[in-house]
Amino acid sequence: MEATHARRPADRRDQILDAAAEAFGRRGFDGVTVAELAESVGVTAPALYRHFGAKDQILSAVTTGTLDRLVAVAESHVGPLDGVDGVDGVDGVDGLDQLTRDLTTEVLDRPWQVVAYLRERHRWAADTTRPTQREVELFGAVDQVLDRAVAGLTASDRRCRMVAMVGVLRGVAERAPRLSRPAADAFIADAVTAVLRAAPVHALAPGRLHPSHPETWRLPPSPRERILAAALPLFRSRGFDGVGIGEIGDHAGVGASNVSRYFGSKEEVLVDIYDRVGARVEVAVDDAVASASDADHALQNLLEAYTEVAFGAADLVVVVSENRGALPRSEIARLRRRDRRVADIWRGVIAALRPELRPAETTTVVAGVIALVNSFPRHEPDALPDPSAVVPLARAFVGAAWAGPDGPSPGLRPRGWRGPGPTGQRRSCS
């Protein structure tokens, strides 16, 4: 072992951070041990502790480094107007295109860092419903470039597009290891640019149109429902592992000792939440494609239906998307089967509209569009826009990804429509 230490590479710290980012991104912070991280880079746990005193220090270094790089990329594009009037000028449009290319390259170069940062944000943000200072700086820089490049956007319009951009980049990051580089960089950058430059929708201004806790989740009479209702905001604000089962019982007003009468463990509470979200999404997807006359109509229905589900149950969606690593192994296969059935519907619609895409590209488009919608409950919980303002952004992304800035949007290019078929037996939503 002493000989190994003598040959220790100078970039060992970076190796640890890269391995940790992928592990945290795939399995979540609590799903990874220090021993596993050490083994993945060929060192012992004590050797790893020479670089980082604790596992949470590794996560902090991953998230801090990710934000620092993204902010640096964005701020490098903020400069003087150089005599341009600031709207639709050549400098502004070219600057936006270059910004999206540079951000896309940064994300695809380090995809797991981005996924880990967004997935584990609740661990280091004092208030997960509000942006940190570095996030404010990132959005501020992008906002300046966007304002210079695209005429007619209000501050709310620009914010809506930036949140959508973050969602797309997260979805793409999760698929990045399966993409062919460098061609993917340009294709994705074009799609992100299409989202940012989508025509503004002023009919309905962003506002608080969907409560964080829909009526069905306001302390219903059943103790089981009260437990679930109490668990949601706790998991949302502090993460699954930051909440104790007794605390959930106290907040539900049933007492800590009585929780076990309805749920055998905290993990069972999370599984129930997953089942409820999955049932709502599955029913919405089935209904969306069943009434569609062609693939373009099916896409519109899918986007409208999914956005309504995501915005109407914001806490549910965020808890589900951020805590997959905490699911018990015995339930993962069952839940993944349902996720795949729903994803197959999305892929069938996208493939009908975009037959030129390869399977990996189609799957990436699906991941990107779902993450785009989910980014709003995650980042704008207290000011969700009307779904009608978000759906056009999602359509712009679907049309532009792998098609260039003048791709087949909004009408796309549907081929013969036969419908992707049902996901299975219909279920009632609870």
pLDDT at 124: 61
Q: What is the pLDDT of residue 102?
A: 93
Q: pLDDT value at position 336? A: 81
pLDDT, residue 394, reads 92
CB-based contact 299:419 (threshold 8 Å): no
State the Cα–Cα distance between residues 77 and 48, nearest whole angstrom: 37
- Tell me what pLDDT residue 48 has: 87
Orientation of helix 133-149 relative to helix 155-175, angle to 10°:
110
Separation between Cα atoms, residue 77 and residue 16, nearest integer Å: 31
Task: Give pLDDT, residue 429.
Answer: 30
Instruction: Identify residue 237 by its one-letter amino acid code.
Output: S
Torsion angle of C-alpha atoms 386, 388, 391, 392, degrees rounded to 10: -120
102-153, pLDDT tens digit by residue? 999 999 988 898 888 887 776 665 555 556 788 888 989 999 999 988 888 8
CA distances from 367 to 13, 21, 360 (A): 31, 19, 11
Can you read off the two tokens belonging to residue 38? 């050490």
The dihedral sign for the CA sequence 394, 401, 411, 353: negative
Alpha helices in 323-381 (DSSP H): 329-353, 359-379
Q: Name the residue type at position 51.
A: H
Is residue 231 within 8 Å of residue 269, measured between CB atoms? Answer: yes
Measured CA to CA in angstroms, residue 355 lies from 36, 225, 269 at distances of 42, 44, 41
- At residue 292, the 3 state secondary structure works out as coil
The pLDDT of residue 156 is: 87
127, burial (CB in 10 Å: exposed 0-12, middle 13-18, buried 19+): exposed
CB count, 10 Å around CB of 419?
16
So what's the pLDDT on residue 408? 45
Residues in the chain, how many? Answer: 430
CA nearest neighbour of 320 among 277, 280, 281, 279: 277
Residue with tokens 């709207």: 87
pTM of the predicted model as reported, rounded to 2 decimal places? 0.70
Hey, is 147 helix, strand or coil? helix
- DSSP state string for 158-181: HHHHHHHHHHHHHHHHHHGGGSPT
pLDDT tens for residues 174-219?
888 778 878 788 888 988 999 998 877 643 333 333 333 344 434 3
Q: Give dist(CA 317, CA 376) in Å, integer.
A: 10
Q: Measured between alpha carbons, how far is 394 from 402 in angstroms, rounded to an integer?
A: 14
- CB of 395 closer than 8 Å to CB of 353: no
DSSP, residue by residue, 328-340: -HHHHHHHHHHHH
What is the C-alpha to C-alpha distance for residues 157 and 277, in angstroms, rounded to an integer? 29
What are the per-10-residue average pLDDT scores of the chain (430 residues)? 46 88 84 88 87 88 88 84 39 79 91 85 59 83 90 87 90 83 84 86 40 39 78 81 84 79 83 82 88 89 90 79 75 81 91 88 90 85 81 90 50 51 37
Q: Domains along the chain?
A: 12-151 (1.10.357.10)
Chain-centroid distance of CA 36 in Å reads: 26
Candidates 186, 173, 226; CA nearest to 66 is 173
pLDDT value for 229: 82
